[in-house]
Amino acid sequence: MTRECALLLPGVCAALADPRQPGLDDTCLEKLLDWFRSLTWFDPTVELVQDNPCLPELITSVLALPEPSPSILSFTLQLAGILASSETRFQHLQEEKLLGRLFGREGPRGGAAWEEASVRSAWVKGVHSMVHHQPALHFLCTMGGMDVIFALQGDPSLFVASAASQLLVHMLTFSLESETSKPLSTKDCDWPACAQMIIKHIEESLQSSSASHIEQSLKLLTSLFGSCFGSCYAAWTEVLWLDIANQIESFLLEDTVKAQHVLANLLLNVARSPVFCGTEGSFWALVTSALEHLTPLQAGPLAVGLLKLCKCPQDVRIQALTVLLQPMDCILRAASQPLEYAGLLDESVSDPVTVESLLSSKTSCAGLLCQTLAHLEKLLSLKHLRVDLPCVSLLRSLMTILQFCNGFLSPTSPLGSTISRNLINCFRVQKSALDVLAALSEKKGCDTLIGSLFDVLLAYLQSPNTSPTVLKKTFQATSKWLVHLQELSCSNSQWQQTEKILEDVFLVLQKRLCSPCWEVRDSSLEFLTAMVKCLRDQKEFRQSLLSSEVLRLTENLLEDPESYVRASAVTAVGHLALITYCAPESPVIGNPYNKENTVAKLQEILSTDSEGFPRRAVISIFTKWLREGSGQLEDTEQFVSRVIQTVEHDLDWEVRLGGLELVEVFCSQTICQLSPCPYAPVSSAVSSPTPQNELLQVFCRAKLFGFLFRSLCDCDKPVGQRACDVLIGLRGHFYPMSTLENPQEIEDSPAGRGIAWLQRTLRQGSLAQNFPTDGGDGVDFQDPESMMLALGAIDLLELHDELNKSSNHVEESPQSLLQDILATMGTIEDNEVDCY
Amino acid sequence: FFQYCLSGHPTLPCNVLKFKSTTIMLDCGLDMTSTLNFLPLPLVQSPRLSKLPGWVLKDGSTFLDKELKECSGHVFVDSVPEFCLPETELLDLSTVDVILISNYHCMMALPYITEYTGFTGTVYATEPTVQIGRLLMEELVNSIERVPKAQSASMWKNKEVQRLLPAPLKDAVEVSMWRKCYTMPEVNAALSKIQLVGYSQKIELFGAVQVTPLSSGYALGSSNWIIQSHYEKVSYVSGSSLLTTHPQPMDQASLKNSDVLILTGLTQIPTANPDGMVGEFCSNLAMTVRNGGNVLVPCYPSGVIYDLLECLYQYIDSAGLSNVPFYFISPVANSSLEFSQIFAEWLCHNKQTKVYLPEPPFPHAELIQTNKLKHYPSIHGDFSNDFKQPCVVFTGHPSLRFGDVVHFMELWGKSSLNTVIFTEPDFSYLDALAPYQPLAMKCVYCPIDTRLNFIQVSKLLKEVQPLHVVCPEQYTQPPPTQSHRTDLMIDCQPPAMSYRRAEVLTLPYKRRYEKIEIMPDLADSLVPLEIKPGISLATVSAVLHTKDNKHVLQLPPKPPQPPASKKRKRVSDDVPECKSLKPLLSGSIPVDQFVQTLEKHGFSDVKVEDTAKGHIVLLQEAETLIQLEEDSTHIICDNDEPLRVKLRDLVLKFLQKF
């Protein structure tokens, strides 16, 4: 603790204990607690409480208050817990008899303040902080604290209940890890007293007839197994598990106790814990039984968790996958004539009737499907899935779901009719199914279905009933499958099918680009950009694109009234330019949307658009063009110079940042172009400028340095940081070995005064955040010599560090926090004086 | 409760309800789909239409070739279009007391009913309904009358001949009932019989029932109707909408507690959501115009067109269509646009508040002001001077058989740059286009029907909970083309009762109560006797007087004075003689006490037997039986009157008299 803080602390403590003071807001108190936590974390000594007697005094005064406010009482409980986290400070506070009055029987528990959930929560947190040594554990057990914690597991406040449960897990683990030296194999009286109490409580609860007690204990066990990852926990957790396994199994099989929903999590955490590394044993039998007996909704999370595990036995994995696929299988069977398609699964794990009844009910159908689809999407995103997904059947099932949802499928079975009725116009299911569909595009083997898949996708794209959000997902899935389609047609030369599909896609895209709903226009443009990104090298795609109206419509949307649409149009036009102005088949003649017009239009948007999004889009497209160097820009130097001048005064910092990115790309490209190839023959011409000088001249002509140096003082930190990075990079180029070391050299130079001024300004500027505009003492940013000197003379690294400091590092210091508290609290005295 | 169903068209209903002593016609919609069987009426001579070949029977007979023409494989009647009227034979329409109109689309058959059937009653409708209904009728009459056609075909209607014709003419129903359009004088005469009503206004019909119009949210002035007596309530829901468009929102609460709810006029396109369709409309319109094509929108002069114009008002600038002219051509275009602005009290809240600013409630005023929307009574005159292409034209009739739309179809049909966009759901667009085939112009079908869909209906029924629902049979099964869509039908408990054209339904509700008033002096004379706590009874002797469906109980006339003269009384003066009244009895007889009483009175051999309904008390010696049951007591003894009287008196002791 700094001296300044130590001086401020007594005042703060006194103010906090003063009941007349207005309550501080909770964030302040939380920050204060965080500070104490950081002070005590690595320092177990007693000095903190000894040197700052105001802290124990604060606790004493609060305890002396007849009716302390809940917030100050909560603060005190947590503070005491933090202070008592080391044994020495604990003893010190015990000597002052404070802890008993806070956490013991005479403490707030049972009193009026206990009605407040915040007080109970603080009590639990305080105890949690305190229990990091034996005496604290002992103190709690003897003071009757355990029963309180047990009771708080069922607290009406979920936060308190959860914190109590976490506390018990911590105590059990701590007690077993710290109090025993030899490995515990069997549960006997060797177990520490505290652990015994907790275990006994768990066992009793599990055997009780109260559903809530059972649930509490199951949740406790879930977090216990969820927190024990080290192998050192293996021994005792296994003992504990063997002790309760039978009970758990009985919950699974009996319907009398409604605890199934908690069991899936518990089993998953046990499966993840190091205890059951082996694939043998009764545990996996229990997991299998759970997969059979839990409803698909309950078993889903367990199944997906198991599939992610490395050490799960293969048969359990297959079973878990089967559970996940069951609803999809049911859909497939319900939609088709018997035996038309084999379903997804050869046999089901649980009773198929359960899945059927869930899908037949209006209330559970969408929920089950959405959950299943979300799980499947997760599985598809895994790099290493250790089971094979039946992708073709899965795709068929997804298509069926999508057709049910838009009413395009007429099922023959009664179950199919019911499901169809439940799913019609269900946007939630549509969106989830389309997500999985998109993820499935990367899997192999679905090629035979690709034609009918596009029929489904196009039906969605064409239907006026498709909601904008569903349409967006459809676009995303379509662009992914188009990529797959292209790859496929490359390999099997089925160009006709591809061309037909592309033609249909562009037709519907044209219509969607004219939609009165801006979300639709926006996602259509995003779709177009996505397609161009992936498919621009494909001839068929380019042909379909260029023969459609899409180009013209997209250019029109640069003037859309909605700024998001304008931004997306800018991005799309930018990407389209990469095709249209380079492609040989581009219809140049009579096209008013030529290269110059497009560049001019985008520059106009950059300088005049009233919204930030389109301007950001323009600058990033310019950068992309420059980076790709694909011939959009003839006179790059002039172009960059123009853009810099436009961007420099932009009100949106992201646009200015984009400008810096453009400058960075420009610099690196120019350096590459102008730097001599190390193997090139040395030019004998004396008069030609050296490459370094030429570079400097180019940069100066482009007015690059003025922009960079001014950006160092930008009011938005990221801009300054980026400018600094670029300048450091440039200096690395111009001064590859070292910086300018001789200050005399600067002073002597004609530009010396200017550079000195710049140095001074920047030093203040980073704080003042204000770059002086008067040029009296100014520096000539377009003079190559001055700029060379400036790069060498200014300590950019120091500036870099300065800029990287968090902007609020001053305001967030503990000292400032204490001052703030004093200032807030102090007002009351002023008011009193006023009143007098 | 009877319902005579005179129309089979679910959205153009015509039902007659017999309720208590009244006969109420609910709507009189005119099914105009019959006109699709006729050739279009071109405004200017159309060489194409006039050159169509006559239709020849399979056996080569040509006797129909003047009446029937063939076009692209379809056969059309070459005559003035005719309409299919509601049934007129099912009951004598001159007995109809009142006609209740729910919206302007459902009154198009009114002149046929009021002017041809001997109808002498009153028609009730709201003011916008009448005004806009008049515009629709005027447009209809005008479109047909201005293209006089000499020929009138009737030979094909002969049953024997009709059987030989190709579909759909072969299957057309009741062709003998099809009638030519009415005339303006008939329209005026019909409309003069209408009495204007306002929402929630209560109208007494002959003291028997009360009818009330409620806002239905579908169109300007559109209403649902409540028909109720003291103890019965029938709701008539026809053409309602829950979407936020221009009219006042639908009043659902007042439909609660109905005994019977008659449900008609649901959306005709349940699979198309109106928002999506409006989007489709705009996109197609913009695409066509951008490519230099013209857009034709066949529509009615009122209704959805207001919403479309409002939507376009917001859309055209963003779509870069500000310079494209919009034309609205109809003999009533001007009136329609202006009427819409003056019915403020019938508009939705947002539009009502605009009136107080003051601003025109509909933005088409601004479109007109800025010259973006121009309206003309017909294509002749000013329009031909102003006409610029590419443009968007709104004009009627949506059937494409008459009106200015015929001209534009002929004009623009040959170019694939142009598009016709169908927004009215009343006609199948393929049938409407049939006489124009082959057609190069693009056709887009964006039916915009804001009426209730089945999801909304099911919510509505859950909300208002009628005891019984009656609806057209079309609503009780999925649409024929989508038989798997079981979600597209009415699903309620008990299942809805369905009706079809020319059917008479006995509504599933029995009248059980009638309200009767008691005159004060009669009420004064009553002496109630409390027979149970809280329940008092009194006997009433009175004369029931019924007049104008009101029932009143009056004091009976005084007993006749002894005749003052010996003059013989006239028979008619004879007043029914009032006999002295026997008291009414109530209570029950406790068997044990009764037996004790009998024993006290000297009956020694009393035996009691329990029966299913009560007890039998046997007096063996006297050979007498006393049957005591819940609602009757019998004393059975042989010819011993004194014994019977004695026993009777003993029984009476246990009962209360009043």
Q: Which of B86, B79, B91, B95 is nearest to B35 (CA)?
A: B79
Average pLDDT over residues B578-606: 80
Residues B7 and B143 in one domain: yes
Average pLDDT over residues A282-309: 88
Q: What is the mean pLDDT of chain B?
A: 90
Average pLDDT over residues B126-140: 96
Nearest-Cα distance to chain B for A477, in Å, is: 21
Average pLDDT over residues B194-208: 94
Residues B368 and B390 in one domain: yes
Residues B424 and B478 in one domain: no
**Cross-strand pairs, B586:** B656
Burial bucket for residue B537 (CB in 10 Å: 0-12, 13-18, 19+): middle
Out of B273, B278, B320, closest to residue A556 by CB: B320
A407 CB neighbours in chain B (<8 A) are: 271, 482, 484-485, 487
Contact across the interface for B287 and A510, Cβ inside 8 Å: yes
Contact (CB, 8 A) for B313 and B437 = no
pLDDT surpasses 60 at A807: no
The pLDDT of residue A832 is 45
Contact across the interface for B290 and A516, Cβ inside 8 Å: no
Per residue in B305-339, pLDDT (tens digit) is: 999 999 999 898 878 888 999 999 999 999 999 99
Interior angle at CA B75, CA B74 and CA B79, nearest 5: 140
Q: Which amino acid is at A768?
A: A
Out of B284, B482, B483, closest to residue A511 by CB: B284
Provide the Cα torsion B152, B153, B155, B161; round to 10°: -170
Nearest-Cα distance to chain B for A322, in Å, is: 30
Cα distance between residue A79 and residue A122, in whole Å: 9
**Cross-strand pairs, B470:** B262, B497
Is position B398 within any domain?
A: yes
pLDDT surpasses 70 at A647: yes
The pLDDT of residue A186 is 59
Residues B357 and B471 in one domain: no
Residues B439 and B456 in one domain: no
Per residue in A380-401, pLDDT (tens digit) is: 998 888 888 888 889 999 999 9
Contact (CB, 8 A) for A616 and A654 = yes
Residues B294 and B340 in one domain: yes
Cα distance between residue A623 and residue B207, in whole Å: 84
Residues composing chain B? 658
Cα distance between residue A728 and residue A667, in whole Å: 12
Residues B284 and B423 in one domain: yes
Cα distance between residue A76 and residue A70, in whole Å: 10
The DSSP output letter for A765 is: H
pLDDT surpasses 70 at A408: yes
Interface check for A417 against chain B (CB to CB < 8 A): the answer is: yes
Residues B475 and B616 in one domain: no
Contact (CB, 8 A) for B456 and B428 = no
A557 CB neighbours in chain B (<8 A) are: none
The pLDDT of residue B405 is 96
pLDDT surpasses 80 at A377: yes
Domain of residue B382, CATH code: 3.40.50.10890
pLDDT surpasses 70 at B199: yes
Residues B20 and B117 in one domain: yes
Best residue in B309, B315, B416, B487 for a mutation probing chain A (most A CBs within 10 Å): B487
The pLDDT of residue A591 is 52
Residues B195 and B227 in one domain: yes
Contact (CB, 8 A) for A525 and A553 = no
Cα distance between residue B511 and residue B21, in whole Å: 12
Out of B271, B286, B290, closest to residue A407 by CB: B271
More confident residue, B654 or B196: B196
Out of B272, B319, B487, closest to residue A424 by CB: B487
Residues B222 and B288 in one domain: no
Domain of residue B591, CATH code: 3.30.310
Domain boundary, last residue among B443, B461, B477: B443
The pLDDT of residue A682 is 53
First-residue to last-residue Cα distance in chain A? 38
Contact (CB, 8 A) for B118 and B45 = no
Per residue in B606-618, pLDDT (tens digit) is: 888 888 888 888 8
* pTM for this model (two decimals): 0.81
Interface check for A465 against chain B (CB to CB < 8 A): the answer is: yes
Contact across the interface for B484 and A516, Cβ inside 8 Å: no
Contact across the interface for B283 and A511, Cβ inside 8 Å: yes
pLDDT surpasses 60 at B181: yes
Contact (CB, 8 A) for A701 and A747 = no
| Interface size between A and B, measured as CB pairs under 8 A | 70
Domain boundary, last residue among B402, B418, B443: B443
Nearest-Cα distance to chain B for A359, in Å, is: 16
Contact across the interface for A515 and B283, Cβ inside 8 Å: yes
Q: How many domains does chain B have?
A: 3
Nearest-Cα distance to chain B for A510, in Å, is: 8
CB atoms within 10 A of CB B127: 17
| A contact residues 533-592, partner B, Cβ 8 Å cutoff | 549, 552-553, 556, 559-562
Q: State the pLDDT confidence band at A66, using cuts at 50, 70 and 90.
A: confident
Q: Please tell me which residue of chain B has the smallest CA distance to A560.
A: B318
Contact across the interface for B315 and A516, Cβ inside 8 Å: yes
B314 CB neighbours in chain A (<8 A) are: 516
Q: Which of A282, A281, A287 is nearest to A305 (CA)?
A: A287
H helical segments located in B476-584:
520-525
Is position B35 within any domain?
A: no
More confident residue, B427 or A776: B427
Q: Which helix (H) or strand (E) holds B551?
A: strand B550-554
Q: Which of B551, B550, B552, B570 is nearest to B560 (CA)?
A: B570
Cα distance between residue A519 and residue B599, in whole Å: 98
Interface check for A156 against chain B (CB to CB < 8 A): the answer is: no
Residue A778: C-alpha distances to residues A116, A723, A754, B274 (Å):
64, 19, 5, 66
The pLDDT of residue B488 is 92
Is position B541 within any domain?
A: no
Nearest-Cα distance to chain B for A356, in Å, is: 19
Contact (CB, 8 A) for A604 and A558 = no
The pLDDT of residue A746 is 64
Is position B255 within any domain?
A: yes
Residue carrying structure tokens 């814990």 = A273
Cα distance between residue B266 and residue B256, in whole Å: 19
Domain boundary, last residue among B460, B481, B504: B504
Is position B570 within any domain?
A: no
The pLDDT of residue A758 is 77
A552 CB neighbours in chain B (<8 A) are: 290
pLDDT surpasses 80 at A760: no
Q: Which residues of B touch A (CB under 8 A)?
A: 271-273, 276-280, 282-284, 286-287, 290-291, 311, 314-315, 317-320, 446, 482-487
Out of B273, B286, B317, closest to residue A514 by CB: B286
Contact across the interface for A560 and B318, Cβ inside 8 Å: yes
**Cross-strand pairs, B100:** B26, B124
More confident residue, A451 or B658: A451
pLDDT surpasses 50 at A783: yes
Provide the Cα torsion A820, A823, A828, A830; round to 10°: -170
Q: What percent of chain B has pLDDT over 90?
A: 62
Residues B296 and B439 in one domain: yes
A421 CB neighbours in chain B (<8 A) are: 486-487
Cα distance between residue B105 and residue B14, in whole Å: 12
Token code pair at residue A262? 């908690």
A553 CB neighbours in chain B (<8 A) are: 290
Q: What is the mean pLDDT of chain A?
A: 83
Alpha carbons within 13 angstroms on the beta-carbon side of residue A42 total: 2
Lowest mean pLDDT among A406-415, A499-508, A673-682, A727-736: A673-682
Contact across the interface for B273 and A465, Cβ inside 8 Å: yes
Cα distance between residue B26 and residue B2, in whole Å: 13
Q: Please tell me which residue of chain B has the smallest CA distance to A557.
A: B319
Three-class secondary structure of residue B620 per DSSP: coil
Average pLDDT over residues B11-40: 94
The pLDDT of residue A374 is 96
Q: Which of B207, B29, B220 is nearest to B108 (CA)?
A: B29
Best residue in B284, B285, B287 for a mutation probing chain A (most A CBs within 10 Å): B287
CB atoms within 10 A of CB A809: 9
Is position B539 within any domain?
A: no
A517 CB neighbours in chain B (<8 A) are: 279
The pLDDT of residue A834 is 43
Cα distance between residue A647 and residue A606, in whole Å: 8
Lowest mean pLDDT among A603-617, A744-758, B317-331, B414-428: A744-758
Most confident of A274-278, A526-530, A816-820, B58-62: A526-530
Contact (CB, 8 A) for B231 and B217 = no
> ipTM of the assembly?
0.76
Token code pair at residue B499? 């009706």
Nearest-Cα distance to chain B for A511, in Å, is: 6
Is position B286 within any domain?
A: yes
More confident residue, B444 or B148: B444
A466 CB neighbours in chain B (<8 A) are: 276
Interface check for A515 against chain B (CB to CB < 8 A): the answer is: yes
Per residue in A765-778, pLDDT (tens digit) is: 644 444 555 454 56
Contact across the interface for A561 and B317, Cβ inside 8 Å: yes
Q: Please tell me which residue of chain B has the smallest CA distance to A468.
A: B276
Per residue in A587-598, pLDDT (tens digit) is: 544 455 577 788
Interior angle at CA A286, CA A281 and CA A287, nearest 5: 100
Interior angle at CA A725, CA A720 and CA A727, nearest 5: 95
Best residue in B273, B275, B283, B416 for a mutation probing chain A (most A CBs within 10 Å): B283
B446 CB neighbours in chain A (<8 A) are: 464
Three-class secondary structure of residue B499 per DSSP: strand
B481 CB neighbours in chain A (<8 A) are: none
- The alpha carbon of residue A595 and the mean position of all alpha carbons in its chain are separated, in whole angstroms, by 39
Out of B273, B282, B482, closest to residue A514 by CB: B282
Q: Which of A825, A819, A815 is nearest to A14 (CA)?
A: A825
Contact across the interface for B311 and A516, Cβ inside 8 Å: yes
The pLDDT of residue A379 is 92
Residue A653: C-alpha distances to residues A610, A643, A833 (Å):
14, 15, 47
Residue B626 is part of which domain span?
A: 583-655
The pLDDT of residue B547 is 87
Residues 6+ away with beta carbon under 8 Å from A196: A189
Is position B533 within any domain?
A: no
B479 CB neighbours in chain A (<8 A) are: none
CB atoms within 10 A of CB B345: 13
The pLDDT of residue A778 is 66
Torsions phi, psi of A586, nearest 5?
-65, 130
Contact across the interface for B283 and A420, Cβ inside 8 Å: no
Give the relative orientation of helices A468-492 and A427-440 as an angle to the nearest 10 degrees: 20
